[in-house]
Structure 1
């Protein structure tokens, strides 16, 4: 099977830099002055369609990455850290753009990378990497013309791990591609790809909930924080994950919602950051970076086809500025991936941060008071 062609991914006009693209939206949202942690009332005042997010608490547990935590694996500067439980019981944290040296933009640019730890949420210490003493890129990516390979999800079905990547200059997704590993993430086999303009670009960023009914349920959006996007839902049999034709849309047509109808947005269109969709505790949890207003949010619902327009939104992370972080207030937050092993009473997410070249990391946060409905 042919691997995705690097030559077709080119930089945009003027060669949009990673710094410019990734930080778009975050810096603008924070503004030039100090922005205090936003209250639930402040969020509610700006919400469309009658949504009134419930603000809840949280606590930083630790830095997962950084010079002290992952520098020994030539990965002092990395983000995202999407956590996946490996078949052997360990945890793989899949990072995005990763650098060695003195800060972001330093030497040895790799993406994605895999960092290893145990799976106990009370002691998530990175003690290895794919590549040993030097974390390697998990898949071929030349970064020619500014292209990169940003993970949107990593998850496990049985004894197989899967990874979804968004390829191209960041926020100019040429295509997304899909990989699998049968050796706990040490090596990855290319499976398939989807064009970046499929479904109006709203199939670029995907997150997979592994259900107990034999399906994975997939939420997707545009991967560009500055572009309003629908949120689409598909399902795919777990034994056909690498077959694009097996992805069946959920949509509204002829007066009814049904599988097989053309894909229809399942919630209000908005500007999405990172998304994470998981089956959890007999229900489903969805977390995302909300761009307007900037916050990290969660919804909990009974079924993949629940009405998200009426499901309460809960604010789990709020923005602040460097030096003013406390509780669940984070300077320049993004990511928000749910840790395997989380429960609704002990809910942990991987939160990324980037506000200068030496403050670029993944952190573990525990969210307190998450409502199940």
Structure 2
């Protein structure tokens, strides 16, 4: 237990499991589609870096990312648990309020891997900033933003006093810590603090952007229901609170943060912002209501474009975060997405045009089966033979996944998808199988006709991504399918997180 008192940890972990609300969201769903595409799992069992065996990170959330200025991405995560963690939500042993991983992965198209962690012993990610873990005093300490200036790393964090109902929590204060050894150790003394004695301070959850000689601090009060506000500070003075100025709607003013007026209309939560030099636009991704949205502006003070939903709660239940990967480039914006029930973090991608409007969205409806009302396949999904939906926490992401299972003959799960004739597309899907599977296929076919493109698979152990490029030819619609010849005894295939997107 890393030297902590077992009794205190057990009681605190139990309290966190029952009341934690950073990830939990109200039980409502939207009908908006999800244009973003699942790229890969970046934390927990089944992640590309196997963070559970590499650093004892079995369940965690957030994934606040920033460039350390020396060829690495630093990623800070929230409440993190060890090998007794089980979904849903945060629970289990080895509770660390915050951890940090490092990545030099420049090819995000196939996921994100990590090279190292801030550790306190070999193979164990340490708690960066300690917390009391006492409900009503200090429950936890959560990282909310990071930025580098020179060789120094800065990380904003909030001290959570109490988790309330979903979407509500109380903080003691927000502050900035700094590290001069690439995030291995953090100093919290002598740094700016935004106290929150009455619960209405505007600068409790932050997002940093370094631009034009300043560090900009976008921020919200505690909880998920308020507007966002803006401050900035010369990059050489991040640790001097009196150097911060606040946007009051018409000018940058010194003094009290109470002078700040909204730059983003609420509800805004888990805010992430970047300046996109290629587009000369400011882009933000955040949780709005129950969905993850994207907005853009020519200036950090706005006006900001209308929200575009990029991840719907209906497809990825309990989404939060949406932390932008700083090395996103060209059409592709990559971001880290937390989901409450799997209580882990996934890398997602959305394509944008020159004006930061979503283009080339995922064309597959209900791609993760989360909109299915029961265990049988319902529209837009259909079966040839025997298939259905696992309504549990077995999916690659979220709660559900599709399946095909039988002991003789051909069986598949499929959906008709509208396409543009003569166009190149890419199909991706995640699947795993029973050990005796020996002849499965994933691909696209003409509606009611033969395959256009497909990939054959045999036994697949952990969740694995399959990619099938194809041209639509003369078709205005195709069927995406996953099927198996079940002629080797009882066998099954589980599938999740489909996508068909137009090739760049």
Output the TM-score relative to the length of structure 2.
Answer: 0.59
Q: What's the offset of the Cα at 1:115?
A: 1.6
Aligned in 2, Cα 1:157/1:224: closer, same or farther, shift over 3 Å?
same
User: Are 2:158 and 2:204, in contact at CA under 8 Å, matched by a contact in 1?
Assistant: yes
Task: Report the CA distance between 1:22 and its aligned residue.
Answer: 3.8
Between the aligned partners of 1:56 and 1:362, the Cα distance in structure 2 is 17
Aligned equivalent of 1:79: 61
**Which residue number in structure 1 is paired with residue 285 of structure 2?**
287
Is structure 2 residue 132 aligned with structure 1 residue 142? yes
Q: How far does the alpha carbon of each residue in 1:81-122 deviate from its partner, in whole angstroms, 9 at most, with x for none?
A: 112222331222211000102223211110210122223124
* Corresponding position of 1:201: 201
Matching of residue 305 in structure 1 with residue 287 in structure 2: no
User: Are 1:182 and 2:168 an aligned pair?
Assistant: no
Q: Give the RMSD, CA atoms, in angstroms.
A: 2.5
1:98 aligns to what? 80
SS in structure 2 at match of 1:187: coil
1:361 and 2:344 equivalent?
yes
Provide the C-alpha distance between the structure 1 equivalents of 2:15 and 2:223, rounded to a whole number of angstroms. Answer: 14
Higher helix share: 1
Higher relative contact order (CA 8 A, sep 6+): 1
Residue 314 of structure 1 aligns with which residue?
308
Deviations 1:229-270, CA, capped at 9 Å, x for gaps: 232111111111111111111113xxxx111182111233x3
| Inter-partner Cα distance in structure 2 for 1:99 and 1:27 | 20
CA contact (8 A) 1:85 1:119 kept: no
SS in 1 for 2:340: strand
Distance 1:134 1:25 in 2: 24
Q: How many residues align?
A: 317
The 1-side partners of 2:252 and 2:14 are apart by: 39
Distance 1:165 1:24 in 2: 13
TM-score by length of structure 1 reads 0.78
Q: Is the Cα–Cα contact under 8 Å of residues 230 and 247 in structure 2 kept in the other structure?
A: yes
Please identify the structure whose Cα radius of gyration is greater. 2
Consecutive unaligned residues of structure 1, counting only runs of 5 or more, are: 1-14, 40-54, 321-328
Deviation, 1:284, is: 1.0
Separation in 2, partners of 1:163, 1:201: 19
Name the CA distance, whole Å, in 2 between partners of 1:63 and 1:107. 22
Change (3 A) 1:16 1:303: farther
Indicate which of 39, 43, 57 corresponds to 1:61.
Answer: 39
Given that 1:194 and 1:244 are in contact with CA atoms closer than 8 Å, whether structure 2 keeps it comes out as no
1:251 & 1:27 partners in 2: Cα distance? 31
